Protein backbone atom coordinates (compact mmCIF):
# COMPACT_ATOMS: atom_id res chain seq x y z
CA UNK A 1 0.00 0.00 0.00
CA UNK A 2 1.19 3.48 -0.81
CA UNK A 3 1.28 5.74 2.19
CA UNK A 4 -0.27 9.15 1.71
CA UNK A 5 1.97 11.37 3.75
CA UNK A 6 -0.23 14.36 3.06
CA UNK A 7 -3.33 13.50 5.05
CA UNK A 8 -4.29 14.92 8.45
CA UNK A 9 -7.15 13.34 10.40
CA UNK A 10 -8.90 15.96 12.52
CA UNK A 11 -11.26 14.45 15.10
CA UNK A 12 -13.35 17.37 16.30
CA UNK A 13 -17.06 17.66 17.11
CA UNK A 14 -17.19 21.45 17.53
CA UNK A 15 -17.71 23.06 14.09
CA UNK A 16 -16.15 26.33 15.25
CA UNK A 17 -13.00 24.58 16.48
CA UNK A 18 -12.87 22.52 13.29
CA UNK A 19 -13.08 25.64 11.12
CA UNK A 20 -10.54 27.47 13.25
CA UNK A 21 -8.05 24.59 13.18
CA UNK A 22 -8.32 24.23 9.41
CA UNK A 23 -8.04 27.98 8.94
CA UNK A 24 -4.95 28.17 11.18
CA UNK A 25 -3.28 25.28 9.34
CA UNK A 26 -4.01 26.90 5.98
CA UNK A 27 -2.74 30.25 7.25
CA UNK A 28 0.49 28.47 8.22
CA UNK A 29 0.75 27.22 4.63
CA UNK A 30 0.00 23.63 5.62
CA UNK A 31 -1.53 22.37 2.39
CA UNK A 32 -2.13 18.78 3.53
CA UNK A 33 -5.47 17.17 2.83
CA UNK A 34 -7.59 17.22 5.99
CA UNK A 35 -10.20 14.57 6.74
CA UNK A 36 -12.60 15.35 9.57
CA UNK A 37 -14.33 12.90 11.87
CA UNK A 38 -17.04 14.63 13.90
CA UNK A 39 -17.49 12.00 16.59
CA UNK A 40 -15.60 9.08 18.08
CA UNK A 41 -17.54 6.42 16.18
CA UNK A 42 -16.74 8.09 12.87
CA UNK A 43 -13.07 8.29 13.88
CA UNK A 44 -13.00 4.58 14.75
CA UNK A 45 -14.55 3.70 11.39
CA UNK A 46 -11.85 5.70 9.60
CA UNK A 47 -9.09 4.09 11.68
CA UNK A 48 -10.40 0.66 10.69
CA UNK A 49 -10.27 1.72 7.03
CA UNK A 50 -6.71 3.03 7.44
CA UNK A 51 -5.70 -0.21 9.11
CA UNK A 52 -7.33 -2.31 6.37
CA UNK A 53 -5.62 -0.27 3.64
CA UNK A 54 -8.96 0.99 2.30
CA UNK A 55 -7.90 4.61 2.91
CA UNK A 56 -4.42 6.17 2.96
CA UNK A 57 -2.81 6.31 6.40
CA UNK A 58 -2.71 9.89 7.72
CA UNK A 59 0.51 11.62 8.67
CA UNK A 60 -1.01 13.12 11.81
CA UNK A 61 -4.12 12.70 13.95
CA UNK A 62 -5.44 15.72 15.86
CA UNK A 63 -7.78 14.29 18.47
CA UNK A 64 -10.28 16.03 20.70
CA UNK A 65 -11.07 14.13 23.91
CA UNK A 66 -14.65 15.21 24.57
CA UNK A 67 -16.47 13.56 21.68
CA UNK A 68 -20.00 12.27 21.15
CA UNK A 69 -20.64 8.52 20.78
CA UNK A 70 -17.09 7.37 21.65
CA UNK A 71 -14.73 9.40 23.84
CA UNK A 72 -11.35 10.51 22.54
CA UNK A 73 -9.43 8.33 25.00
CA UNK A 74 -11.23 5.28 23.60
CA UNK A 75 -10.33 6.38 20.07
CA UNK A 76 -6.69 6.76 21.15
CA UNK A 77 -6.76 3.32 22.78
CA UNK A 78 -8.15 1.80 19.57
CA UNK A 79 -5.47 3.49 17.44
CA UNK A 80 -2.72 2.15 19.68
CA UNK A 81 -4.19 -1.36 19.57
CA UNK A 82 -3.91 -1.58 15.77
CA UNK A 83 -0.84 -3.04 14.15
CA UNK A 84 -0.19 -0.36 11.52
CA UNK A 85 -2.05 2.60 12.99
CA UNK A 86 -0.28 2.19 16.34
CA UNK A 87 2.67 4.18 14.97
CA UNK A 88 0.59 7.17 13.91
CA UNK A 89 1.55 10.46 15.54
CA UNK A 90 -1.46 11.48 17.64
CA UNK A 91 -1.79 14.92 19.20
CA UNK A 92 -4.59 15.47 21.70
CA UNK A 93 -6.05 18.93 21.12
CA UNK A 94 -8.64 19.48 23.80
CA UNK A 95 -10.23 21.98 26.14
CA UNK A 96 -9.63 19.65 29.10
CA UNK A 97 -6.86 20.53 31.51
CA UNK A 98 -7.80 17.76 33.93
CA UNK A 99 -4.75 15.92 35.18
CA UNK A 100 -6.44 12.53 34.75
CA UNK A 101 -7.01 13.26 31.02
CA UNK A 102 -3.37 14.27 30.57
CA UNK A 103 -2.06 11.20 32.43
CA UNK A 104 -4.49 8.83 30.68
CA UNK A 105 -3.56 10.25 27.28
CA UNK A 106 0.15 9.69 27.86
CA UNK A 107 -0.45 6.22 29.32
CA UNK A 108 -2.32 5.35 26.12
CA UNK A 109 0.59 6.56 24.00
CA UNK A 110 -0.33 10.05 22.85
CA UNK A 111 2.59 11.90 21.28
CA UNK A 112 1.59 15.32 22.53
CA UNK A 113 -1.15 16.92 24.64
CA UNK A 114 -2.19 20.47 23.85
CA UNK A 115 -4.89 22.37 25.70
CA UNK A 116 -6.95 24.52 23.35
CA UNK A 117 -6.34 28.15 24.18
CA UNK A 118 -9.49 30.09 25.01
CA UNK A 119 -9.06 33.04 22.69
CA UNK A 120 -9.06 32.93 18.92
CA UNK A 121 -5.58 34.34 18.36
CA UNK A 122 -3.92 31.93 20.78
CA UNK A 123 -5.86 28.96 19.40
CA UNK A 124 -4.84 29.83 15.86
CA UNK A 125 -1.20 30.24 16.91
CA UNK A 126 -1.15 26.93 18.81
CA UNK A 127 -2.66 25.08 15.84
CA UNK A 128 -0.19 26.74 13.49
CA UNK A 129 2.76 25.74 15.66
CA UNK A 130 1.64 22.14 16.10
CA UNK A 131 1.09 21.83 12.36
CA UNK A 132 4.52 23.22 11.61
CA UNK A 133 6.21 20.89 14.09
CA UNK A 134 4.36 17.65 13.36
CA UNK A 135 4.15 18.08 9.59
CA UNK A 136 7.43 19.78 8.77
CA UNK A 137 9.97 19.12 11.53
CA UNK A 138 8.94 15.77 12.99
CA UNK A 139 10.24 12.61 11.34
CA UNK A 140 7.38 10.12 11.50
CA UNK A 141 8.06 6.38 11.49
CA UNK A 142 7.46 4.56 8.22
CA UNK A 143 4.08 2.86 8.24
CA UNK A 144 3.64 0.07 5.74
- The domains located in the chain, with CATH, are 7-135 (3.40.50.2300)
Per-residue pLDDT, averaged over 112-138, amounts to 89
Q: CB 33: neighbour CB atoms within 10 A?
A: 12
Task: Please state the rounded mean pLDDT for residues 38-62.
Answer: 95
Question: pLDDT at residue 123 above 70?
Answer: yes
According to the model, what pLDDT value does residue 66 have? 95
Looking at residues 81-91, what average pLDDT do you find?
Answer: 95
Q: State how far the Cα of 26 lies from the Cα of 128, in Å rounded to an integer.
A: 8
27 closest CA partner among 136, 137, 133, 132: 132
Q: What does the pLDDT read at residue 72?
A: 97
The predicted pLDDT at position 113 comes to 96
CA–CA dist 106, 11 (Å, integer): 18
Residue 122, pLDDT > 60, answer: yes
- For residues 66-72, average pLDDT: 97
- Exposed/middle/buried for residue 136 (C-beta within 10 Å: 0-12, 13-18, 19+): exposed
Say yes or no to pLDDT of 36 above 60. yes
Amino acid sequence: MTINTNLILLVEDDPDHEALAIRALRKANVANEISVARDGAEALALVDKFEAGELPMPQLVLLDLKLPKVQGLDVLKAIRSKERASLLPVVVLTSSDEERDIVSSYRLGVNSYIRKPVNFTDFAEATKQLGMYWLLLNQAPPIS
